[in-house]
Structure formats: structure tokens, C-alpha cells
Amino acid sequence: MNRLYNALQLKRLYQLKQLGFDYVPLVEKRSGASKALPNDLERLEKMVSECMLCALGKTRTKAVFGEGDPHASLMFVGEGPGAQEDMSGRPFVGRAGELLTKMIENAIEVPRQSVYIANIVKCRPPNNRVPTPEEAYTCLPYLMKQIELIAPRVIVALGATAYHYLTGDKSGITKVRGEVIDRGDYLLVPTYHPSYLLRNPSAKKEVYQDLLKIKRLLCENC
């Protein structure tokens, strides 16, 4: 319960920070886990690779930090690593990853390596289940730091889990899909996860329209 409480407090602090409030972190005397996150992606990745703050650290093969252009204008955020990602240490490398690559390169017309791809949690949940709130909120500060350092103009939330933990909104993905949400430092566009599209190919038409919208957003003020 202490971990979940601490993770929820972190979530609230990051939400307040996004709204423009500032705060001074309290000194945590019980452990060194509360030390400030590094202002460098390489050092942050090393920290993630050694992280054991939640139970997922005990079952992972490799942590999946994220990959892509560290100065990308466009960032994709999924739910969590799957089996192939857990083995390789890279995000979106299975069938869903192949589809995401096509979405990026065929619809938005940019190379996959020019965007940045990450997940809500950095370690694979067993049996590809949805991350628990404790797992998600424990891992979320790493993602928020990535977003801060990369400073994308547009973030695409792939699926309901990514959307929920990026915004705190529990609305279903079908209700918010395709909306452009101003988060202050970036625009957020939720859409269906590639895994959903593999199970429901008819939804690809809707996602294609979302991707065209994202392409237009990136082209504005180029």
C-alpha cells in the first residue's frame, strides 16, 4: 500500500506541474529511490534498467526504455512491452510494432526512427495483462521525464491505458479517439492501439483519419 500511495502522490504532483504549479520534493529518509531523475536520456535509461521499484522488475527479461529521435516532434506512447519487446529490450517490435511502423511511415510519411516510441510501463506485465495502478504510477515519472527531455510537439496515446495514465481521464478510447487535447507543453491525440487494429481491421479507417490529423498538426508552423 505504501508504494501505491507514493505512486499516487507522484501522479498528483506531475499533474500539478503540468498545470503550471511548482513544488519542492520532500526528502525521503527511508530509501534512495526518491533521488531526482537525471536530465539525460542515457542516464535515465540506465536507471530504468536497474529499477526494481515494482514487482514487474522481478519478472522482466529486459526493461524497455524507449527508442527514437531524442529531439522528436512526434512521440507515441503505448501500454507496456509484450513478449518480443521483453526479449529484445525494444518497444513495438512484434506484429503490433510492424503495424505501427506502417502507420508512421505510410500515413504520417516520416521514418520510424524520426519519432520517439515509449510505453506507460517499462517492464512486461505477466501474460501481457494491463498494468496495475501501482505499477503504472510507479513507472510514470520515468515517462514524464522522457517527455520533458524530448519535448515533443505532439504525443499519440495508443489505446485506453496510455490515454488514461497520461491524462487521468477514464473515458473509453472510442469516445476520445481522434480528439486534439492541449496539454500545455504538447498536443495529445488518442487513437486505437495497433494490437486492437490487428483484432479489428475495420477500425483502421478511423485510425488513418487520426494519423492524417496528426500529420497536419506537425505541418502547422513548420
For residue 202, the enclosing domain spans 2-219
Inter-residue contact 83 to 124 (CB < 8 Å): yes
**pTM for the structure as a whole:** 0.85
152 vs 66: CA distance, rounded Å: 14
6 vs 184: CA distance, rounded Å: 25
Print pLDDT tens along the chain (222 aa): 444 455 556 655 555 554 454 444 433 332 333 358 999 999 999 999 999 999 999 999 999 999 999 999 999 999 999 999 999 999 999 999 999 999 999 999 999 999 999 999 999 999 999 999 999 999 999 999 999 999 999 999 999 999 999 999 999 999 999 999 999 999 999 999 999 999 999 999 999 999 999 999 998 856
- Structural domain count of the chain: 1
Instruction: Report the CATH number at residue 158.
Output: 3.40.470.10
Task: Return the half-sphere exposure (C-beta side, CA atoms, 13 A cut-off) of residue 176.
Answer: 21
